[in-house]
Structures are given as structure tokens and as C-alpha cells.
Amino acid sequence: MFSATINIVTSYYVIYGIPQRRKTIATTGVIFNLIILAFFKYSPLFASTFLNTNDSIGHFLLTIPLPIGISFFTFEGISLVVDVYKEQYFRDSNHYSLANHAKRTIFFISFFPHLISGPILKAHEFLPQISEKKVGTINWNACVKNLILGYFLKMVVADNLKDFTFWMQYPYFQSFSSISLIFMLFGYSCQIFADFAGYSIIAIGMAKLFGYNFIENFNFPYISTSFSEFWRRWHISLSSFLKEYLYIPLGGNRKGKVRTYVNLLITMTLGGLWHGAAWSYAIWGLFHGTALAVERLYKDYIPTKSNPIVSLFSGIFVFSFVTLAWLLFKLPKIEHVIAFLQSVYNNYSFADNPPLVTYIVLYSLPVILYHLFYLVKERFSIKQIKYDFII
């Protein structure tokens, strides 16, 4: 409620206040949002890194509870303040009163389906949808499809895979063979997709039950043949948020090539840290930012022509890199990540674990088929379009 109040007041006076103070009020609103997020989410990380956790201040910061959904509703607040500053169509004579504005804002921030795991809502996408809804207008077919798919990915695929990728934790992984560890890492990659995508698809289905449409959040990301494509398909609401509210304000690609690479590194590192209060998340973001920067550098100086063979190997490389980087999610301590990789290299003579490998393949198969079906469908659609054009 404190967060919502800040965003109600600042966004209202950005819209209806003194025009000369709009920028100052919007900036103040964004800063307050970031302070709230930093205090509750990153105080423990700050304390464990820079302070003595045995003294009173360090212990206090370390024990601050994390409010559920704070990352999502804080980003929504930032979106609201920035959007009302940038977009004029939020000025609406029907909602001029502060009470009406507060009611719409609280509804936007507290709309529950997405609050735990996304998608991240943007004000300019959600606020225009606020209106009286009729049961007869609900697309029941889309609701049921999304809910069945989402719950299947989350409860059947992800929740079963986690029982077998559990052994990736330190020190258990040290006793498994190299092959078993590679399959566990592959299974974890499928698990994290099924978990994140499953939650988002459930949220999309639930929102449709109430007459609201969320953007698609995961668009078959593991078929990507480049890192930029991966981030156009993975957690789309987050990547688009970072692009609109961080990368472009930093200068985007408008201030030269070197600045573009720096902006990519900053955006992705902060995006990684958004996922959790541990330095491993920042390193994960830095890995992806480096990959995006190197890829852009390569394309800037070495133009390439796409062909099926190059696309195939590019897709394998991108998926392998992404899968390897997920280790930083599973193992927050860098020394444990290094130990895992050492075990993969050294444990080739250990006996394999056929039941473990079999179950990982079994529960990963839906994710594989999910992406393969899309590839086949997309390829058929392209051929059909060409055929129709020829006719």
C-alpha cells in the first residue's frame, strides 16, 4: 500500500499537476520505487557483502523479509510513472479525481494473476483495458488452452524434473558421472523453461477469465539461433521492460557502437540482478550482456548470410550457452559452479545412472516436442505462404 500510494500521488500530479514540475515529480517517483525495491530485496546482499552481519545494523539488514511480488509491483509502479510522463492519452476527464485515479492504479498494481512470476504489466498496455467486463465476452477456448498448458508445464514437467535436478546441488553432484551431470544440466534447462513459462501461461489464462489480456511472455525461446532472438522470445515482458525503461534511456544504440555495447552490459547485468539478491545473478546477466555485445560487434563488422546449416549450429550453440549459464541460477556460489564444471570434466570414469537419465529425458520430452512442433508448424506455414503466393 505504501508503494501504491507513492505511485498514485506521483503519477496523478505528473498528469494533472503543474506542467513545469512533471519531470521532477516523475523522477522522484521512480527514485522512491527503486529505493523501496533496493531496501527490501538487496539489503541482505549488501549486508553480507560489505558489513559485519554480527553487529546490529548488519544483522538487521540481513533479516529484512522480502515482500511477495515486490519485483513485479515495483516495476509496474515505475512503468506507470514513466508512461504517464511520456504518454498524453492517460489524461482522461472521466477519471480526473484523485479517488478515481487511485482506484484504477490500485487495480492495475494489485491485479493478482501475474504478481508472483509475471508477466510484468506495463501501464500503457493494461490501463486502457480497465472497463466493465461481461461473462459472455470471455474467450473460454483460449482460457482453457492456456490453463491446461500452463499447469501441465508447471506441475507435470517442472515439478517432476526438480526431483531429479535436485542432485545438481553441492556437494551431491560430485558423486555423479560426467554423462549424468550433462543430462541433469539439460534437464534443468527444460525445468526452468517449464517453470517460468508455465507460471506465465497460467497467469495469461487466469487474466483472460476476467476479460484482460496479457502479452505472450515465452515464445519458444529454445529455437533461437542468436542471443538477440533468444531475448525476443524469453521472458518477453522483462526484456521489453528493460529495453523501454533502461536500455533506451541509457542511450540505446544512438550514441555510437562502444556506448551501445556498454549499455547492453549494464542493462543485462541489472536485469540479472533483478532475478535475485545474489552476485551469481549479476554474473548471469553479465554473461548474457557480453554475448549480446559480442554478437552485435560480430554482425557490425562481419555480415553473414543465413542458411539452414549455419542456423542449426547457431541454434545448438545458443542453447548450449544458455543452458550452461543456468548453472548460476541453480548454484548461487561461484565456487560451486566451478566445482560442478570440474566434476563434468573429471568424472568421466564414474558409473552412469540410467534411471536418473531416463526420467530426465522422459520429463524433458514435452519441452522438446513443444518446440519441435512449433518449428514444424512454422516451416509449414512459410511454405504454404510461398505456395499461395505462387498460385
Contact between 269 and 285 under an 8 Å Cβ cutoff? The reply is yes
Average pLDDT over the chain, rounded to an integer? 90
Among 114, 124, 275, 371, the active-site one is: 275
Confidence of residue 86 (pLDDT cuts 50, 70, 90): confident
Amino acid at the residue 58: G
Contact between 90 and 58 under an 8 Å Cβ cutoff? The reply is no
Q: Residue 236: what pLDDT?
A: 95
Residue 11 has pLDDT above 80, yes or no: yes
Residue 189 has pLDDT above 90, yes or no: yes
Contacts of 276 (CB under 8 A, 6+ apart): 332
Contacts of 254 (CB under 8 A, 6+ apart): none
Tens of pLDDT along 231-273? 999 999 999 999 999 999 999 888 888 889 999 999 999 999 9
Q: Residue 254: what pLDDT?
A: 84
Confidence of residue 36 (pLDDT cuts 50, 70, 90): very high
Is residue 275 among the annotated active site residues?
A: yes
Instruction: Calculate mean pLDDT across residues 68-74.
Output: 92
- CB burial of residue 245 (10 Å; 0-12, 13-18, 19+): middle
- To 10 degrees, the CA torsion angle through 312, 317, 318, 324? 150
DSSP label at 93?
Answer: G
Instruction: Calculate mean pLDDT across residues 144-172.
Output: 96
